[in-house]
C-alpha cells in the first residue's frame, strides 16, 4: 500500500511516503533554529512552525515520491505521545486531508513508529525484538512482541530524557543548543575518566535482585547527573580555576552512555531479547553507538541502527508503521479520535 505519514509531536514537521516497506519520500522541516535562544523546544513556537511548514512539506514529499494525493491508499498520523499543541496541528491537518480525499486515517504511536521505521532500512524486523529509544523527549526500553499488536514498556526515564540532559549540560558548559552534537564533539578531546559522575538509579536499592526486581530496575534518571555537573562547574568557578570543559563533557557523556547501555543490555538479557533496535536523535551519538555495539556483541545481541535521518523524528516512520498496520488488516481510526500526549506504547494505533 502507498501510505502518507505525518509527524508533528515535537519540533519536526515530517511528511513521509512509503510503498509497503519501501521509502519513497521523507520531507522534514525542523523549527530547531527557532528554539536555540531558549535552549530547548518551546511548545507554542513549535506548534506555529508546524502550521506554517505543513503544506510546503507535504508538497515536497509528494513531489519527491512522484505521486499525487489521489494515489495514496491511506494516511497515518502521530496521535501521541508528544507536545499537545504540536500533535494537534498534525492531527487536524491529517483529519482534514482524510476528510477531503476520503482516505482512511490511522492514528499512530510515535514511539512504536521509531521501531517500525526499521523496515525501511534493513527490511523485515526480526523476532525477539527490543528497542532503545533515546531522544530529546524520550528514553525508553521497549519489548516488541508484535510491531502491530503487542509492544510493552520495560523502562523509561523518571525525569529528564537523555537528549534533554545533553541539552541542559551543554548549556551549563556554554556549548550552545542543541547540546548533543556539541558535547559529542567536545568529549573527543577530553578524558572520560576525569570525573566520576553518578549513574542514575544504578544503586542496589533501585535495581533489586533477579528474584525481586527493584522498582526502577530498567528506569533512567538524568536530573541528578545534571545537578552533579552543575555543582562540579560551580566548584571550579568558586576556586577561580578554569573549568575543564572537555573533561566534564567526556565524563558526563560516559555516565549517560554507560548507564543507558548497561541497563538496555541487561533488560534484553532478562527478557529474551536478542535483537535490539536503536532510535531517536541521541542515536547519532558516537560514544553511544560504540559502547552499545560492544556491549551487545558481548551479550550476543544483534544491534540494528537505522540511518540517522530515520532515527530522528520524521514522517517516514509514521508511514512505515501505518503500512505495517494496513498490511496486517488493522482498522482505521476514524476522524473523531483525540491527540494523546501521554499515549502508552500499548496503544499502537488508536
Q: CB 99: neighbour CB atoms within 10 A? A: 11
Distances (CA, A) of 268 to 155, 202, 288: 11, 17, 17
14 contributes a contact to ligand ATP by CB under 6 A = no
313 contributes a contact to Fe ion by CB under 5 A = yes
31 contributes a contact to ligand ATP by CB under 6 A = no
190 contributes a contact to ligand ATP by CB under 6 A = no
Site string for ligand ATP, 96-135 (x = CB under 6 A): ---------------------------------------x
Provide the 8-state DSSP code for 242.
P
Q: Where are the alpha helices (DSSP H) in 32-109?
A: 32-35, 43-65, 84-101
Stretch that binds Mg ion, among 3-11, 122-130, 268-276, 339-347 (CB under 5 A): 3-11
- Output 10 or 107, the one with its CB closest to Mg ion: 10
Decide if 112 contacts 153 (C-beta within 8 A). no
Return the residue of 10, 88, 245, 323 that touches ligand ATP, per CB under 6 A.
10
7 contributes a contact to Fe ion by CB under 5 A = no
Decide if 116 contacts 146 (C-beta within 8 A). no
Q: CB 335: neighbour CB atoms within 10 A? A: 14
Return the residue of 4, 8, 9, 11 that touches Mg ion, per CB under 5 A.
11
Return the residue of 50, 103, 138, 199 that touches ligand ATP, per CB under 6 A.
138
- The DSSP line for 7-28 is E-SSSEEEEEEEETTEEEEEEE
Which residues touch 255 (CB under 8 Å, ≥6 apart)?
197, 198, 199, 225
Can you give the C-alpha Rg of the chain in angstroms? Answer: 20
Residue given cell 528474584 in the structure block: 211
Return the residue of 65, 175, 282, 326 that touches ligand ATP, per CB under 6 A.
282
Decide if 305 contacts 278 (C-beta within 8 A). yes
- Output 12 or 167, the one with its CB closest to Mg ion: 12
Residue 294 Cβ vs ligand ATP, minimum distance, rounded to whole Å: 17
Decide if 3 contacts 72 (C-beta within 8 A). yes
178 contributes a contact to ligand ATP by CB under 6 A = yes
Q: Which residue, among 224, 220, 210, 225, has the nearest Cα to 255 in the 3D structure?
A: 225
With CB under 5 to 8 Å by kind, the binding choice for 16 among ligand ATP, Mg ion, Fe ion, none is: none
Return the residue of 30, 135, 139, 157 that touches Fe ion, per CB under 5 A.
135
315 contributes a contact to ligand ATP by CB under 6 A = no
- Output 197 or 220, the one with its CB closest to Fe ion: 220
The reply to whether 135 sits in an annotated binding site is yes
Strands 275-279 and 129-134: parallel
**Contacting positions for ligand ATP (CB under 6 A):** 9-12, 82, 135-138, 163, 166-167, 178-181, 184, 280-282, 284-285, 312-313
* Positions at the binding site: 110, 114, 133-137, 167, 180, 184, 285, 313
Amino acid at each position: 500500500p502507498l501510505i502518507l505519514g505525518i509527524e508533528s509531536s515535537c519540533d519536526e514537521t515530517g511528511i513521509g511516503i512509503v510503498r509497503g516497506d519501501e521509502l519513497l519520500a521523507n520531507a522534514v522541516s525542523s523549527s530547531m533554529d527557532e528554539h536555540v535562544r531558549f535552549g530547548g523546544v518551546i511548545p507554542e513556537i513549535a506548534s506555529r512552525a508546524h502550521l506554517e511548514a505543513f503544506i510546503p512539506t507535504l508538497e515536497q514529499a509528494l513531489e519527491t515520491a512522484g505521486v499525487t494525493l489521489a494515489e495514496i491508499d491511506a494516511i497515518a498520523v502521530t496521535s501521541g505521545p508528544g507536545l499537545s499543541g504540536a500533535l494537534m496541528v498534525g492531527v487536524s491537518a491529517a483529519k482534514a486531508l482524510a476528510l477531503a480525499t476520503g482516505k482512511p486515517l490511522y492514528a499512530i504511536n510515535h514511539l512504536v513508529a521509531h521501531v517500525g521505521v526499521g523496515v525501511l532500512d534493513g527490511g523485515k524486523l526480526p523476532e525477539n525484538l527490543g528497542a532503545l529509544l533515546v531522544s530529546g523527549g524520550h528514553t525508553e526500553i521497549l519489548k516488541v512482541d508484535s510491531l502491530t499488536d503487542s509492544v510493552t514498556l520495560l523502562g523509561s526515564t523518571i525525569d529528564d530524557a537523555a537528549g534533554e540532559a545533553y541539552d541542559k549540560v551543554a548549556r551549563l558548559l556554554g556549548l550552545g543548543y542543541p547540546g548533543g552534537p556539541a558535547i559529542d564533539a567536545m568529549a573527543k578531546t577530553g578524558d572520560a575518566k576525569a570525573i566520576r559522575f553518578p549513574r542514575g538509579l544504578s544503586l542496589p536499592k533501585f535495581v533489586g535482585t533477579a528474584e525481586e526486581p527493584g522498582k526502577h530496575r530498567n528506569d533512567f534518571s538524568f536530573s541528578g547527573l545534571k545537578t552533579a555537573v552543575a555543582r562540579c562547574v560551580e566548584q571550579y568557578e568558586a576556586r577561580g580555576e578554569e573549568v575543564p570543559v572537555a573533561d566534564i563533557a567526556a565524563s558526563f557523556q560516559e555516565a549517560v552512555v554507560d548507564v543507558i547501555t548497561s541497563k538496555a543490555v541487561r533488560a534484553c538479557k532478562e527478557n529474551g531479547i536478542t535483537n535490539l533496535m536503536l532510535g531517536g536523535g541521541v542515536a547519532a551519538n558516537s560514544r553511544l553507538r560504540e559502547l552499545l555495539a560492544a556491549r551487545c556483541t558481548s551479550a550476543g545481541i544483534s544491534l540494528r541502527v537505522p540511518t540517522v535521518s530515520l532515527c530522528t523524528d520524521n514522517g517516514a516512520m509514521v508511514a512505515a508503521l501505518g503500512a505495517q498496520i494496513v498490511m496486517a488488516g488493522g482498522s482505521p481510526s476514524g476522524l473523531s479520535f483525540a491527540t494523546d500526549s501521554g499515549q502508552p506504547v500499548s496503544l499502537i494505533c488508536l
